[in-house]
Amino acid sequence: MTHYIANLRDIEFTLFDLLKRDEILEKGPFAEVDRATAMGMLEEVKRLSEVDLAASFVESDRLGVDFNPATGDAKLPESFKKSYRAYMDGEWWRIDAPADLGGTVIPPSLRWAIAEMILGSNPSIHIYASGTAFAHVAHMLGTERDRNVARLMIEREWGATMMLTEPDAGSDVGAGRTKAVDQGDGTWHITGTKRFITSGDSDLTENIIHYVLARREGGGPGTKGLSLFLIPKFMFDHKTGELGKRNGVYVTKIEHKMGLNVSSTCEMNLGEKEPAVGYLLGDVHEGIAQMFKVIEYARMMVGTKAIATLSAGYLQALAYAKTRVQGPDLTKAADKASPRVTIIHHPDVRRSLMVQKSYAEAMRALVLYTASIQDEIVIKQASGEDPTKLAELEALNDLLLPIVKGYGSERSWTLLGTESLQTFGGSGFTQDWPLEQYVRDAKIDTLYEGTTAIQGLDFFFRKIVKDGGKAIRKIGKEIGAAAASGGTHADLKVQLGAALNEVNTAIGSMVGMAMASQDEPKEIYKVGLNTSRLLMNVGDIICAWLLIRQADVAAEKLATASEKDKAFYQGKIAAAKFYVETVLPHIAVDRAIIEKTDNSVMEIPENAF
């Protein structure tokens, strides 16, 4: 057996029992997919992930990337390339390709359920294989030339990267200094240095298309002056895809990371050795808006990766706790001759396992709930009806993305270290078990595609304030209705309603601080001190709501369930109860902290830190 265990039973429950995704199948844009087809896809990905993809997870971490600084070429371990080929040869890339370029149209909810298993078993495979998703963006936003590039990317399985970050700019993308000069023949020459470029080079594909943000001559300051260019590693024949000469984009250094070691994270130079020739995407200067199509996909992917890793860590910890014998039962601790028991009998281990279970299942529901909103967007786009409803759905998806990415990655990374690895005791700190690699690999998720702090700022200022609070009120109203619905688990719903009131009060306080900053600018510091806290609180509320909904479904099914399924449904009810009673009480404390925030920490002199 490899390291990975997929939780297909919970994926199926979340998709079809909780979110009723079978109701959108066999109609509209998803007319060719029925439930049997969807389950067949999931079952095959489960097998692929647990066997072929997971097989190289450990070795590829230990061997990492072999980089030749003289040529700027990166090579990957043979075992990893074998796993990658298993994914590509299975043609799972088709679920990201446009339909008219050979893509398979499936609901986003099914797509992200598939992605969870791939990302949980060997995340770098999914990351390297993102070229198809990048091609989709070029096909959607590009000219006829760009759409042809997208066709070649898919037909010839080329890789892709997104190049935003620069050494001196970091997350301040608008401070980037990479320059683009129009050559007057449909091409541009780009010069500059980028860093932290994921999949910057490898020997998995014959070519790589780099999506590069650069500032054209005459482009204004900040993000509005940036344009997006497609820059190939090798020039190519635009009809056949046959490769030509090397383009002037080279890896100068491979970053040595604490985890995700088979993913080549590169520093890259453009235009130093020879011109780096690029094509302006869409022949329009709308770089940041275009790149955000890629960023939104990447943020969904990163959050799903983090949550998938927590699920894998929990299932590893659960299996260990059921077999590791240590110590007597606590009720018999005084009797030195009492029999030793497996550690799952110990109270704190059970507490830890339930923390892991409840968060893993709640955040899986968070990902798939967000993806279900994306399902509805696709349906509305296909029908061309009700643009107002479409705009509401898009705003709700925008609201949820920083929660999936920021909340999902922060909670997963923390729990993998403090609970999943901890379950193993000292053994968890060794490489005998995969937990130490999970922890190392998962830390990047809080940093990738905007840190948690950036997600919090985006969530409050863009997704709440700029939106006028419409999307947050919409989901709050839905949660409030569930909290007031009574019936099964009425006590948990009362607690959900109370916590929702606390979050709404906190949002109101922070909006008040933001408004006060118009007269007293330093009041905005109080908001900045609490945006990450608010992001976590809203994530907790949504997860509690989804867990209670799961518990209600489980309670309905429990009466007629088979013996095999009874324990599953009992676990759903137990997870909701545990989560509501142990997580939600903290929200009231956080609300009080937000209300009492002052600027004293901002007034401390730097040398006092």
- Model confidence at 563, in pLDDT bands (50, 70, 90)? confident
367 and 303 in contact (C-beta within 8 Å)?
A: yes
Residue 317 lies in a domain: yes
Residue 431 lies in a domain: yes
- CATH code, domain with 256: 2.40.110.20
Please determine, for residue 169, whether its predicted confidence score (pLDDT) is greater than 80.
no
Q: List the single range of 53-57, 68-72, 151-155, 158-162 with lowest mean pLDDT.
A: 68-72
- Model confidence at 498, in pLDDT bands (50, 70, 90)? very high
Percent of the chain with pLDDT strictly greater than 90:
94
Express each pLDDT in 92-137 by its tens digit: 999 999 999 999 999 999 999 999 999 999 999 999 999 999 999 9
Residue 450 lies in a domain: no
- Model confidence at 273, in pLDDT bands (50, 70, 90)? confident
**Across the chain, what does the average pLDDT equal?**
96
Query: How many Å separate Cα 525 from the centre of its chain?
Result: 28
29 and 103 in contact (C-beta within 8 Å)?
A: no
- Domain check: are 301 and 410 in the same one? yes
* Per-residue confidence (pLDDT) for residue 46, from 0 to 100: 98
Express each pLDDT in 318-337 by its tens digit: 999 999 999 999 999 989 89
- Domain check: are 218 and 206 in the same one? yes
Residue 341 lies in a domain: yes
- Model confidence at 176, in pLDDT bands (50, 70, 90)? confident
Catalytic-role residue among 449, 520, 563, 595: 449
In terms of Cα–Cα distance, which of 67, 288, 271 is closest to 183? Answer: 271
- Domain check: are 488 and 522 in the same one? yes
* Per-residue confidence (pLDDT) for residue 168, from 0 to 100: 78
Express each pLDDT in 16-26 by its tens digit: 999 999 999 99
Residue 131 lies in a domain: yes
- Model confidence at 173, in pLDDT bands (50, 70, 90)? confident
**Dist CA 128 CA 147 (whole Å):** 21
Query: How many Å separate Cα 114 from the centre of its chain?
Result: 13
* Per-residue confidence (pLDDT) for residue 58, from 0 to 100: 98
Number of domains in the chain: 4
- Model confidence at 220, in pLDDT bands (50, 70, 90)? confident
Cα dihedral 480→482→487→493 (10° resolution): -60
**Dist CA 452 CA 306 (whole Å):** 13
Express each pLDDT in 379-405 by its tens digit: 999 998 889 999 999 999 999 999 999
- Domain check: are 82 and 172 in the same one? no
Residue at a domain's end among 135, 170, 196: 135
- CATH code, domain with 394: 1.20.140.10
- Domain check: are 281 and 300 in the same one? no
Express each pLDDT in 3-12 by its tens digit: 999 999 999 9
* Per-residue confidence (pLDDT) for residue 80, from 0 to 100: 98
Residue 452 lies in a domain: no
- Domain check: are 279 and 302 in the same one? no
555 and 573 in contact (C-beta within 8 Å)?
A: yes
- Domain check: are 604 and 485 in the same one? yes
Q: What are phi and psi of 82, to 5 degrees?
A: -65, -45
Q: At residue 58, what is the residue type?
A: V
Percent of the chain with pLDDT strictly greater than 70:
100
Express each pLDDT in 401-443 by its tens digit: 999 999 999 999 999 999 999 999 999 999 999 999 999 999 9
* Per-residue confidence (pLDDT) for residue 564, from 0 to 100: 85
- Full-model pTM: 0.97
- Domain check: are 369 and 487 in the same one? no
- Domain check: are 386 and 492 in the same one? no
Residue at a domain's end among 292, 307, 333: 292
Q: List the single range of 343-347, 389-393, 541-545, 560-564 with lowest mean pLDDT.
A: 560-564
Record the tokens describing residue 203, joined without a space.
Answer: 């020997």
- Domain check: are 224 and 209 in the same one? yes
384 contact partners, CB below 8 Å, separation of at least 6? none
Record the tokens describing residue 281, joined without a space.
Answer: 């995407």
- CATH code, domain with 107: 1.10.540
95 and 62 in contact (C-beta within 8 Å)?
A: no
Residue 400 lies in a domain: yes
* Per-residue confidence (pLDDT) for residue 385, from 0 to 100: 81
442 and 306 in contact (C-beta within 8 Å)?
A: yes
- Domain check: are 520 and 435 in the same one? no
- Domain check: are 28 and 16 in the same one? yes
309 contact partners, CB below 8 Å, separation of at least 6? 119, 120, 123, 412, 416, 438, 441, 442, 445
* Per-residue confidence (pLDDT) for residue 162, from 0 to 100: 96
User: Mapping DSSP to helix (H, G, I), strand (E, B) and coil, where does residue 525 land?
Assistant: helix
* Per-residue confidence (pLDDT) for residue 495, from 0 to 100: 98
Q: Is 361 a catalytic residue?
A: no
Domain that includes residue 262, residue range: 142-149+156-292
Instruction: Find the mean pLDDT for residues 143-149.
Output: 97
Residue 3 lies in a domain: no
DSSP string computed for 454-470: HHHHIIIIIIIITTTTH
- Model confidence at 308, in pLDDT bands (50, 70, 90)? very high
Instruction: Find the mean pLDDT for residues 436-457.
Output: 96
- Model confidence at 479, in pLDDT bands (50, 70, 90)? very high
Q: At residue 59, what is the residue type?
A: E
Residue at a domain's end among 135, 164, 189: 135
